[in-house]
Structure 1
Amino acid sequence: MNKKTTIYIIFILIISSLPFILGVQRSTMTLINTIVIYSIAALGFNILLGYSGQISLGHAAFMGLGAYISAYVTNTLPEMGGVEFIIGIFLAGLIPLVIGLILGLIALRLEGHYLAIATLGFGVAIQQVFKEWVAFTNGFSGMNASAINLFGTSLRSRESFYIFSLIILALLSIFSYNFIHSKIGRGLIAMRDSEHAAQAMGISIFKYKLIAFSVSAFYTGIAGGLYVHLIRFVEPNQWGVELSLNLLAMVVIGGLASIFGSILGAAFLTAIPEILKEIPVIGEIRNLSMILTGVLLIVVIMFMPQGIARLGIKIKFLFNKKTKEEKLKEEKVV
Structure 2
Amino acid sequence: MNLLKNKAVQYTILAFVVALIPLLLDINRSTLTLWNMVIIYAIIAIGFNILLGYAGQISLGHAAFMGLGAYIAANLTGNLELPFLLSLVLSGLIPMVIGLILGLVALRLEGHYLAIATLGFGVAIQQVFKEWTAFTNGFSGVRADNPVIFGLEISEREHYFILGMIILLLLVLFAHYLLKSKTGRALLAMRDSEHAAQAMGVSLFKYKLIAFAASAFYAGIAGGLFMHLIRFTEPNAWGITLSLNLLAMVVIGGLATIGGSIIGAGFIVMVPEFIKDIEFLASIKSFATIFTGFAMIFVIMFFPHGIARIGTQIKIALLNRRNSRVDKGKGGAPNGRSKG
Bin of the TM-score, shorter chain as denominator length: over 0.9
**For each residue in 1:15-70, what CA deviation from the matched residue of structure 2 results, as whole angstroms up to 9, or x when unmatched?**
44333333211000000000000000000000000000000001000000000000
Q: What corresponds to 1:257 in structure 2?
A: 256
Q: What corresponds to 2:5 in structure 1?
A: 3
**For each residue in 1:261-289, what CA deviation from the matched residue of structure 2 results, as whole angstroms up to 9, or x when unmatched?**
00000001100110111111111211122
> How many Å separate the matches in 2 of 1:208 and 1:173?
19
Q: In the TM superposition, what is the alpha-carbon distance from 1:195 to its structure 2 partner?
A: 1.0
Q: In the TM superposition, what is the alpha-carbon distance from 1:77 to its structure 2 partner?
A: 2.4
Q: What corresponds to 1:49 in structure 2?
A: 52
Q: What corresponds to 2:146 in structure 1?
A: 147
Q: What corresponds to 2:286 in structure 1?
A: 287
Any residues of structure 2 matched to 1:139-178 within 5 Å, and which?
139-178=138-177
Q: What corresponds to 1:209 in structure 2?
A: 208
Structure 1 unaligned residues grouped into runs of 5+: none
1:34–1:227 contact (8 Å) kept in structure 2: yes
Q: In the TM superposition, what is the alpha-carbon distance from 1:186 to its structure 2 partner?
A: 0.7
Q: In the TM superposition, what is the alpha-carbon distance from 1:98 to its structure 2 partner?
A: 0.5
1:108–1:115 contact (8 Å) kept in structure 2: no
Any residues of structure 2 matched to 1:2-21 within 5 Å, and which?
2-3=4-5, 5=7, 10-21=13-24
1:140–1:236 contact (8 Å) kept in structure 2: yes
Q: Which amino acid aligns with 1:279?
A: I
Q: Which amino acid aligns with 1:307?
A: G
Q: In the TM superposition, what is the alpha-carbon distance from 1:329 to its structure 2 partner?
A: 9.6
TM-score (norm 1): 0.93
CA RMSD across the alignment:
2.2
2:275–2:288 contact (8 Å) kept in structure 1: no
> How many Å separate the matches in 1 of 2:221 and 2:247?
17
Q: Which amino acid aligns with 1:34?
A: M
Any residues of structure 2 matched to 1:210-249 within 5 Å, and which?
210-249=209-248
Secondary structure in 1 matching 2:83: helix
Pairing 1:75–2:78 present:
yes
2:15–2:169 contact (8 Å) kept in structure 1: no
Q: In the TM superposition, what is the alpha-carbon distance from 1:323 to its structure 2 partner?
A: 6.3
Q: Which moved more, 1:16-25 or 1:276-285?
A: 16-25
Q: What corresponds to 2:338 in structure 1?
A: none
Q: Which amino acid aligns with 2:103?
A: G
Distance 1:18 1:324, change over 3 A: farther
Q: In the TM superposition, what is the alpha-carbon distance from 1:141 to its structure 2 partner?
A: 0.2
> How many Å separate the matches in 2 of 1:208 and 1:26?
42
Q: What corresponds to 1:188 in structure 2?
A: 187
Pairing 1:121–2:115 present:
no
Any residues of structure 2 matched to 1:291-310 within 5 Å, and which?
291-310=290-309
Distance 1:330 1:191, change over 3 A: closer
Q: Which moved more, 1:98-107 or 1:204-213?
A: 98-107
> How many Å separate the matches in 1 of 2:188 and 2:158?
37
TM-score (norm 2): 0.91
> How many Å separate the matches in 1 of 2:328 and 2:118?
56
> How many Å separate the matches in 2 of 1:263 and 1:153?
29
Over the matched positions of the two proteins, sequence identity in percent amounts to 59
> How many Å separate the matches in 2 of 1:222 and 1:188?
22
Structure 2 unaligned residues grouped into runs of 5+: 336-340
